[in-house]
Amino acid sequence: MITTVEGLRQGQMVESIQGRDCHQFYLIVGLIGDKYLSLVDGIKHPLAKAKKKNIKHVRITMCVDKEIEGYISRGESLYNTQIITAIERLKNQHEEGGRFHG
């Protein structure tokens, strides 16, 4: 079980495993300290209202959306529609058994 944010990447997909949002997929858009993630899904938690979640309460996938990661690292504008599309694409890859896409 991963207990710190070390090695995680912006644009990486995670799945909530605790709380009311259990089984919801998010993309990491920020790291808060060494125990918390800033997460978005583009709908209930858009970019303007990112969710802060303890790393112990998510399942880390090895799926990373390089396009989203690039936008964030370059400080370029990112839109909720891009987040939604990226999560759907990564969920499909994850379900098909694709382990690492980055």
What separation in angstroms does the CA of 40 have from each of 15, 23, 95, 97? 11, 14, 20, 23
pLDDT of residue 97: 67
CA pair distance 100, 67, nearest whole angstrom: 15
- pLDDT value at residue 94: 77
pLDDT at residue 2 greater than cutoff 90: no
Per residue in 31-86, pLDDT (tens digit) is: 999 999 999 999 999 999 999 999 999 999 999 999 999 999 999 999 999 999 99
pLDDT digits (tens, 9 = 90+) for 13-22: 999 999 999 9
Q: Compare 100 and 3 and report the one with higher pLDDT.
A: 3
> Domains in the chain and their CATH numbers?
12-95 (2.30.30)
